[in-house]
Amino acid sequence: MPETSKMKKPDVKVVLLGDMNVGKTSLLHRYTERKFKDTISTVGGAFFLKQWGPYNISIWDTAGREQFHGLGSMYCRGAAAIILTYDVTNWQSLAELEERFLSLTDTANHDCIYAVVGNKADLTDPTAQQSQDTDGMSEDQTECEDRTEPEVLSTSLTSSASPKQVTHEDAMALYGRILRYKGLEEKSSLPAEKMCFETSAKTGYNVDTLFETLFDLVLPSILRKRNEYQESPTVDLEECRGGSSKRARSSCC
């Protein structure tokens, strides 16, 4: 992980939240290292610095274990985007998002964007078994197939051994409730269709799309942050007085 070592100051923060075992670490691995490898349950948290054009984005992988729950608020503080992750084969993991994790996001930026992500789609959805990822994917996949017991895997692939417990509609409904929790107008917010994803860290299905969609969406937030540093206090005041016009301003940049 040489990227983390450079100690560059990140411009913006993206946080992965969700119950243990839903695949947060796997998603981040898939995106940054382009492979699916064995993970151990995350202790505390970890982060990765992603160079996105001229910007540095820090992506925080948090620990889903109850034990570390208390750290969540701190990780979310000042976040520009939060990825609420659940496991499509586990209804409880979606419920936990609402019960346990949503409140952690109170410390995030006021304009933080939220994505609801159902991972392990490969277990339920045949299209997710095929990777969208083009670069050297199949190779990695075999690497991990060797590690998992092959029989288990083949049954899961053919007969969808794990039934889908969470539908896309469930996730979109949750997204609506998140907006309500945040006191946001559905109309003026990003639509659920755009912000609810089903992914597979294992095959890479939708993983790049997820991260890159978010990066593109947080870009205005980066620009505004930079401007706040550069601009004189008078301009800041003006912007504050603008109040609701803030969003409009950012979208025109």
Ligand X SMILES: Nc1nc2c(ncn2[C@@H]2O[C@H](COP(=O)(O)OP(=O)(O)OP(=O)(O)O)[C@@H](O)[C@H]2O)c(=O)[nH]1
Cα 67 to chain centroid distance, Å, stands at 21
Kindly report the backbone phi and psi dihedral angles of residue 231, in degrees, each rounded to the nearest multiple of 5, phi listed first: -70, 155
Residue 161 touches which of Mg ion, another protein, ligand X, none (CB < 5 to 8 A by kind)? none
**One residue of 14, 25, 48, 104 binding ligand X per CB under 6 A:** 25
Cβ contacts of 78 within 8 Å, gap of 6 or more = 13, 107, 108, 109
Please list the residues that pair with 45 across neighbouring strands: 62
Minimal distance, residue 77 CB to Mg ion, in Å: 20
Minimal distance, residue 162 CB to another protein, in Å: 29
Cβ nearer to ligand X, comparing 28 with 179: 28
Distance CA 252, CA 219 (A): 12
Sheet containing 55-62, strands listed edge to edge, beginning at the edge strand earlier in sequence: 45-52, 55-62, 12-18, 81-87, 113-119, 196-198
Residue 7 touches which of Mg ion, ligand X, another protein, none (CB < 5 to 8 A by kind)? another protein
Minimal distance, residue 2 CB to another protein, in Å: 6
Residues at the contact surface with another protein, assessed by CB under 8 A = 1-2, 4-7, 43-47, 60, 63, 65, 67-68, 70-71, 73-75, 77-78, 107
Our CA dihedral for 20, 26, 31, 33, rounded to 10 degrees, sits at 140
Cβ contacts of 72 within 8 Å, gap of 6 or more = 17, 62, 101, 104
Question: Segment 10-69, which members bind Mg ion (CB under 5 A)?
Answer: 24-25, 42
Q: Are 3 and 69 in contact (CB under 8 A)?
A: no
**Taking Cα atoms as reference points, which of 195, 196, 197 lies closest to residue 206?**
197
Per CB under 6 A, 108 contacts ligand X: no
Minimal distance, residue 103 CB to ligand X, in Å: 17
Question: Segment 31-50, which members bind ligand X (CB under 6 A)?
Answer: 39, 41-42
Per CB under 6 A, 64 contacts ligand X: yes
Per CB under 6 A, 124 contacts ligand X: no
**One residue of 58, 189, 200, 213 binding ligand X per CB under 6 A:** 200
Cβ nearer to another protein, comparing 56 with 156: 56
Q: Which residues bind ligand X (CB under 6 A)?
A: 18, 20-26, 39, 41-42, 63-65, 119-120, 122-123, 200-202
